[in-house]
Structure 1
Amino acid sequence: MDNEERFWNATVDELANGYVHSNDEFTCLLCNESFVDGIIYPMDGVLYEAKKAVSRHIQDTHISVFDYLLSLDKKHTGLSDHQKELLDFFMKGLSDKEIVQELNGGSPSTVRNHRFKLKEKEKQAKVFLAIMNLLSKKSDKQAEPNFVSFHKGATMVDERYATTEEEKQKVLSRYFKQGADGELDTFPSKEKRKLIVLQHIVKRFEPTKRYSEKEVNEILKAIYSDFATIRRYLIEYGFMKRSKDCTEYWIGN
């Protein structure tokens, strides 16, 4: 299971913790780093068991799960930028009056109204999760399409992302005629097929590694001659990110 699939299959509690525990491993949902039961991990002069080590890793590498989840795009959180800003203030323990001062405007009653609306949104989310949970138990699993999980860094989520595993395999066999680990025969022109091909190509990169442009080019050259086009689309569609000076590239989250 790749990191995207693991992230979206996680329970609410697992998402809040930032890791999942499976097969004697604690795996970070934010970057896929794993810590194995029975191994002791030294960190800053302190020895940690796997469960404590993954929590320390999240703290050191990602600051907090709250910040990471809040940084996700609106298509994943359903939150506006203003709501995210308010939630950040709430997390810091600011009073309504202090928040008004931070915002340089508004009134404490307006902030209280936002608190109320967010609490109502929480209630609605709980009911929706319960409905989907019941549906999942009742529905025919064989009749239900198995949709592909796309990356959290996706720059747009629409009907082009409604791809089943069966469709994905057909596209990959068409464009990677020498096998899934071989070269790309041609780059598709249709957007939906582009997404499938790009998602497959990005798996050639390590999720926690930073790459130079030269390293990215070398990996892509082995896949397709027009590597510059592939690199551009990987960035454009959010599969990969790069620094402003284009010296570092990494997998988008």
Structure 2
Amino acid sequence: MNAEERFWNATVDELTNGYVYDDLNDAYVCLLCNEGFEDGIIYPIDGTLYEAKKAVKRHIEDAHTSVFNYLIRLDKKYTGLSVHQKEILDYFKKGFSDKEIAEAQGGGSPSTIRNHRFKLKEKEKQAKVFLTLMKLLHKSSDKKSDNKFIHFHKGAKMVDDRYAITEEEKNKVLSTYFKQGLDGELDTFPSKEKRKIIVLQNIINRFEHERVYSEKEVNAILKGIYSDYVTIRRYLIEYGFMNRSRDCTEYWVKG
């Protein structure tokens, strides 16, 4: 399971913790960056020895500050929250009173902040009902795995019907364009947007999360996939699969 699938398949409790236990690899895996900590191994961090479970918690604090800090900065298409709502939630998390928040935002009315607090509580109730409905729906009518939609990457830009891709569609496209197998070369680069996304999703799996690549290293990997590696590299950036530094010397998977 790749990082995107692990993140979106996580339960609410697992997302709250920021990590999951990977039974296959006997490891605790950070949901925010996919770094793993193998059970039974002792990890030295800043002069202290940690078992795997405590090590992943310490990692989240050091690398991401907190799960709340990471999630609140996700794009609106993932949170459904406006910039102002995120600011309000951040103040609530820090323990600010309604009066303090109103003053911090330019001297507004505490009653306005209380109204925001009420609306967010209503949104929480609606979210619980919606999650329950979707869980019941999956149990009763979405048993065929081929009809399930694939998860799109967290760096996806302009999410629209191009990302409405089922497992069946994905498998057909991959078998068409990667005739030598998923780890083989790309036969041709598709012109249709939805197919591009599917192909790029497969290509990005050739790169490691949390590793910074030079342009030369990126080119070397892509050359083994497709002759026009420059086009592939450009689309990986354009579609939000990768980030790069301003001087184009460093590249990394967008998480």
Q: Which residue in the other structure is 1:48 paired with?
A: 50
1:28, CA displacement in angstroms? 0.6
SS at match of 1:27: strand
Give RMSD over aligned pairs: 1.5
Counterpart code for 2:143: K
Identify unmatched segments of 5+ residues in structure 1: none
Aligned to 2:240: 238
In the alignment, which of 73, 76, 86 is matched to residue 84 of structure 1?
Answer: 86
**Aligned twin of 1:222:** 224
The structural deviation recorded for 1:179 is 2.3
Name the structure 1 match of 2:254: 252
Change (3 A) 1:190 1:221: same
- Per the alignment, residue 194 of structure 1 pairs with 196
Unaligned runs of at least 5 residues, structure 2 = none
How far apart, CA to CA, are the structure 2 residues paired with 1:204 and 1:105? 51
CA contact (8 A) 2:215 2:249 kept: yes
Task: Say which SS state the counterpart of residue 204 (structure 1) adopts.
Answer: coil
Q: Counterpart in 2 of 1:69?
A: 71
Cα pair distance change 1:53/1:180, threshold 3 Å: same
Give the alignment's TM-score, normalised by structure 2: 0.94
Q: Using the alignment, how far apart are the partners of 1:230 and 1:206 within structure 2?
A: 17
Once the two structures are superposed, residues 122-165 of structure 1 have per-residue CA deviations (whole angstroms, 9 ceiling, x without a partner) of 01001111212222233351387122111111112221111122
Structure 1 Cα separation of the partners of residues 72 and 247 of structure 2: 26
Given the superposition, is the C-alpha separation of residues 144 and 194 from structure 1 closer, same or farther in structure 2, using an over 3 Å criterion?
Answer: closer
Structure 1 residue identity aligned to 2:238: E
Number of the residue aligned with 2:122: 120
Which residue identity does 2:15 align to in structure 1?
L
- Structure 1 residue ranges (4+ consecutive) displaced by more than 4 angstroms after TM superposition: none
Corresponding residue number in structure 1 for 2:138:
136
> CA shift at 1:206, angstroms?
0.3
Give the superposition deviation at 1:246.
2.2
SS state at 2:225 partner: coil
Tell me which of 86, 97, 100 is aligned to 2:99.
Answer: 97
Distance in 1 between the 2:192 and 2:22 partners?
Answer: 38
Q: How far apart are 1:100 and its partner, in Å?
A: 2.1
Q: What CA deviation, in whole Å up to 9, does each residue of 1:90-148 have, x standing for no partner? A: 11111222222322243211111111111110010011112122222333513871221
Identity %: 74
Could you tell me which residue of structure 2 aligns to residue 14 of structure 1?
A: 14
* Aligned-partner SS, 1:6: helix
Change (3 A) 1:247 1:18: same
- Residue identity opposite 1:135 in structure 2: L
CA–CA separation in structure 1 for the residues paired with 2:145 and 2:227:
40
| Paired letter, 2:100 | E
Letter in 1 for 2:41: I
* Partner of residue 207 from structure 2, selected from 202, 205, 208: 205
Q: For the structure 1 residues 143 and 17, does the alpha-carbon distance in structure 2 shift closer, same or farther, using more than 3 Å as the test? A: closer
Gap change, CA 1:51 and 1:148, over 3 Å in 2: same
Structure-1 residue corresponding to 2:163: 161
Match of 1:180 in 2: 182
Matched, 1:170 2:172: yes
Q: Indicate conservation of the 8 Å contact 2:98/2:113, yes or no.
A: yes
Which deviates more from structure 2 when the two are superposed, residues 45-54 or residues 101-110? 101-110
- AA of the residue aligned to 2:197: L
Give, as a single letter, the amino acid of the residue that structure 2 aligns with 1:32. N
Distance 1:220 1:93 in 2: 48
| Cα distance in 1, alignment partners of residues 199 and 139 from structure 2 | 33
